[in-house]
Amino acid sequence: MVQARTESVYLIQSNKEKCKELLQKNDLDENDMINFYISLHIVMEVSLNALLRNLSLMQIQKTINTLEIAKNIDKINFIDKMVLFIYNYRYKFGSDLYLADEYHSIIGKLRNFCEARNKLLHGHSIAILYVSDDTEHSETKELLSQSKINEQVNKFKYIFKGLRFYIDHIDSSITESGKDSFKREYLDDSFLAL
């Protein structure tokens, strides 16, 4: 039986464009920063879900409907998928084993990366408390600065760099051009170049 499947990458591409446009502004206001955090998170989550779903589907050796398998894979959150990817795939690290140990940290970085989006979308207070001559910012309000945006961009780039490393070292029948295709389609962070 011949089978083919296509998948939309609209959410990835459109949110990369939003991020790129926002980063080209000279001065982001708070609304821009909120939009940037949300768009960057969408790029991360949708990219990783699609990448890890497609890698998983390549390994399935059953005649069950591919869409049913994909539906079950999609019920696993993207952080857990990434953890399983890092721990359960076979890799050929060779002399790069030390880098595998270093990039293991992307698990914690991804969890940390998600905190900004979670606070914003779950309605955490974006507030400043004024008491006499002193001010105190809520944790979510503190996210809305250029330095915090830069930190988030750096986390994003590091996570994608680590995942590109793992993709490069997969020990499987995936060809080098197949690996390059996965990296180009799902792990390209060039839209963040300023």
Q: Which residues contact 55 (CB under 8 A, 6 or more apart)?
A: 85, 89, 182
- pLDDT-above-90 percentage for the chain: 63
Question: Which of 5-19, 20-34, 137-151 ranks highest by mean pLDDT?
Answer: 20-34
- pLDDT-above-70 percentage for the chain: 95
How far is the C-alpha of 186 from the C-alpha of 46, rounded, in Å? 9
C-beta separation of 73 from 60 below 8 A: no
What sign for the dihedral angle of Cα 32, 159, 14, 85?
Answer: negative
C-beta separation of 65 from 32 below 8 A: no
pLDDT at 190: 96
Indicate whether 183 pLDDT > 90: yes
pLDDT at 4: 56
Q: How many angstroms separate the Cα of 190 from the Cα of each of 16, 62, 113, 141, 156?
A: 9, 37, 18, 28, 11
Q: How would residue 1 be classed by pLDDT, with cut points 50, 70 and 90?
A: low
Structure tokens at 168: 């490069």
DSSP secondary structure code for residue 171 in this structure: -
Strands (E), 91-171: 128-131, 134-137
pTM as predicted: 0.89
Domain boundary assignment for the chain: 10-192
Indicate whether 184 pLDDT > 80: yes
